[in-house]
Amino acid sequence: MVTILFYLFAAVAIGGAIGVVLAKSPVGSLLFMVTTLGAIAATFVLLEAHFLAAIQVIVYAGAIMVLFMFVIMLLNLGHDYEGDFRGGLYAIISFVVVGAIAGVIKNDLVGTQQLEATGAESIAAAVEESGVVGAIAHPLYTTYVVPFEITGILLLVAIVGAVALAKRNVT
């Protein structure tokens, strides 16, 4: 049953991601993004990572998407912005960068196929010592502080990109 639900939520997440790209309006893209984030949170629940699922819904599907909605409404992104899209070189560079990032992620995931017993024991010891939140917070703010900060920068770049796309020529 868990496998069937996993594939169902994976299909919903992929469909939502495609919907983000193909939606005609920014609000539609935002709603597809919320659907995608909800499906990812459901996948976290299937993996028994309830804290991550709650954070996914509260922080990303809640706070970040509301922030994006305010940016969209503040900048009135409902205008026809077919002229804003600059294909060609920008599209090729985007695909190359996304492909490189996907390759790096794939190479990272190849070495981490299964969690060894010693890793599970160390996680259990960390939870016993400082609780679930402490066991998550300690590596997040020590070992993984750089990826955590990069995620914040990516969100900032996304907002700046939305502002740059919505900027109107006042001539």
Residues 29-33, mean pLDDT to the nearest whole number: 86
Tell me the whole-structure pTM to 2 decimals. 0.49
Do 13 and 39 meet the contact criterion of CB atoms below 8 Å apart? yes
Closest residue by Cα to residue 86 from 160, 158, 16, 164: 164
What is the pLDDT at residue 117?
47
What's the confidence (pLDDT) of residue 14?
A: 92
| pLDDT score of 62 | 80
Q: Using one digit for the tens of pLDDT, what is the confidence trace for 67-120?
A: 777 777 776 655 555 554 555 676 677 778 777 777 776 766 665 554 444 556
Residue scoring higher pLDDT (127 or 56): 56
Residue 64 has a CB neighbour count (10 Å cut-off) of: 17
Question: What structural domains does the chain harbor?
Answer: 2-120 (1.20.120.1200)
d(CA 6, CA 13) in angstroms, rounded, equals 10
CA angle 165, 166, 167 (to 5 degrees): 95
pLDDT, residue 114, reads 47
- Confidence category of residue 168, pLDDT binned at 50, 70, 90: low
- Across 108-126, b (16+ Cβ under 10 Å) vs e yields eeeeeeeeeeeeeeeeeeb
Q: What is the mean pLDDT of the chain?
A: 77
- By C-alpha distance, which of 36, 42, 34 is closest to 5? 42
